Amino acid sequence: MAITTLLATSNVVKLDTTSFFSSFSGKTNHFLSRRLSHTKRRVQVTSCCYRETWLKAVTPLTMPVTETSSDSTGLGIVRFLKGKSYFITGATGFLGKVLIEKLLRASPDIGKIFLLMNSKDQESANQRLFDEIISSDLFKLLKQTHESSYENFMKSKLIPVIGNIGEDNLGIESETLDKITEEVDVIINSAGRTTFNDRYDYALNVNVLGTNRLLSFGRQCKKLKLFLHISTAYVTGKKEGTVLETPLCIGENMPSDLNIESEMKLASEAVRKFHGSQQSKKLKELGIQRAQSYGWENPYTFTKAMGESVIHSNRGDLPVVIIRPSCMESSYKEPFPGWLQGIRMTAPLILSNGKDKIPDLLGDSQSTCDVIPVDMVVNATIAAMAKHGSGVSDLNLYNVSSTSNPNPLRFRELMDLSHQYLCESPLRETSKDLERMKFHSSLESFIFSVSKTIAKQERQMHNGEEGEVESHTTLSIKGMRKLNYFVSLATTYQSYLFFQTRFDDTNTRSLFQEMSMEERKMFEFDGKCIDWEDYIINVHLPGLKREIFRKYPILKESDLRDNY
């Protein structure tokens, strides 16, 4: 059933102690150059692809076949994984796929992994499994290990389940649901609406109600040992200082006047009131307005916060772990360096210079850029799963981030490293003469500088003139669209580019310390080991470039701007 139809109803359904509307069911830097000369790996100039060495998989992990003394003095991760069955949402997403790959590689004797897939029928679900997971280059190590039996191995472990987290009972047929509840040991919720300017109704339906639907499903599972929820480190909103690893609860560390039922009702009324393209526009505006009125940046972080509060209130006796990653980017090492899916997180900021030659950012150059490689998030998730998967009814929370590291990445360093890389390995031939990024402390200064740059580009394109213009009012219609895009990008990222928060990771560091030396090698997530220069120059940016050319084999002038 379409969500717009579902939102038109006004029935109320009780979710334990909380009521919800059922309407939601359904330039060159010489100092930097000197630093880079000591980097362990060198950047090689390439025009539209990267060195094969960047794509080589890491040496396959040697997993212990039997329990070892090292295992017994650590968390016993491999022992825990063996034979367990999992129910995973968001399986075809960035984090979900890396998680599945690591589970299968670390524990070939794992039980079944049920994957919730939004498909019309079983045939299309099976096809999605093959196209988006089995055929993905992410699984190259498993292909090498299992050779001709690879496909059979994957199909024996991965079970696609037709359903939708946005529907009652997860949209799963009752007979199938009954069978799954008999087998599942661990539920992993990695699904979510992650767009910063998402429609409010969509974000609420998945990030809030969807979380509660999974809790209800978890209570039906006969032998459930853990409910693991992937949230975001930015879930605490516009707070400066140190963000602790503590659960969110309305009335305690969330505004006491926040009423989730009322938020549902507001979105439901907007759906009934507006129609067509106006409906989408108004619901996006509503999401931004409601989030910012309560102290959050956008509806994504706001609804994820509400989702956490639902877990805190309604989990009952379910054992829960919440993982809060910061900005997840390309893999650091596993299964090979630089794997990425989608143009995400910091990419639009980097591409604004690399592709569009706009050397301006609205932000503080010394603010911290909290980036964490996706494989480290996955490893921390698996370690937490093993530690808390005993069925004990408690709630544990882990910030998986990098701002607490002794040498955190800052935006000036990120943009300088990106500038260095893109000058030597440009996205297009016309992008070799990039200027070093300039940071602006005000939106007015940013708009003035960007409009002047766009006007100059237009004059060069049409007349071959180098002169500058005084005002952006002389821009063409296309130029104004371009300016509006960059203003929108700046306002969307503004809070992150003036970031003055540090995520405490005491629990995460303690978790790592509990692991045996063997486990630390197999499931590494110590962010202090990240060499930022090496990671950005030799791993992440080549990975980003590869992903761009995978999606756009022939890079056109408007492709990146129009799509991202």
The catalytic site residues sit at 300, 304
- Strand runs labelled E in 441-524: 501-503
Residue 397: what are its φ and ψ, rounded to 5°? -135, 140
Residue 398: what are its φ and ψ, rounded to 5°? -135, 125
Cβ pair 195, 344 in contact under 8 A: no
CA pseudo-torsion sign 145, 150, 152, 155: positive
Instruction: Give the contacts of 173 (CB within 8 A, at least 6 positions apart).
Output: 162
438 SS3 class:
strand
Q: Label residue 370 left, alpha or beta by phi (over 0 means left) and psi (-120 to 50 means alpha).
A: beta
Q: Measure the CA–CA gap between 130 and 361, rounded to whole angstroms.
A: 41
Q: Measure the CA–CA gap between 301 and 288, rounded to whole angstroms.
A: 10
Q: Measure the CA–CA gap between 334 and 141, rounded to whole angstroms.
A: 10
Q: Which two tokens stand for residue 253?
A: 């560390």
DSSP state of 1: -
Instruction: Give the contacts of 275 (CB within 8 A, at least 6 positions apart).
Output: none
237 SS3 class:
coil
Burial class (CB in 10 A: 0-12, 13-18, 19+), 419: buried
Cβ pair 476, 458 in contact under 8 A: yes
Q: Measure the CA–CA gap between 529 and 173, rounded to whole angstroms.
A: 46
Nearest one of 513, 522, 385 to 80, comparing CA atoms? 385
Buried b (16+ CB within 10 A) or exposed e, 125-136: beebbbebbbeb
DSSP per residue, 139-196: GHHHHHHHGGGHHHHHHHHEEEEE--TTSGGGG--HHHHHHHHHH-SEEEE------T
Q: How many other CB atoms are found less than 10 A from the CB of residue 400?
A: 26
Return the residue matching tokens 């931004």: 288
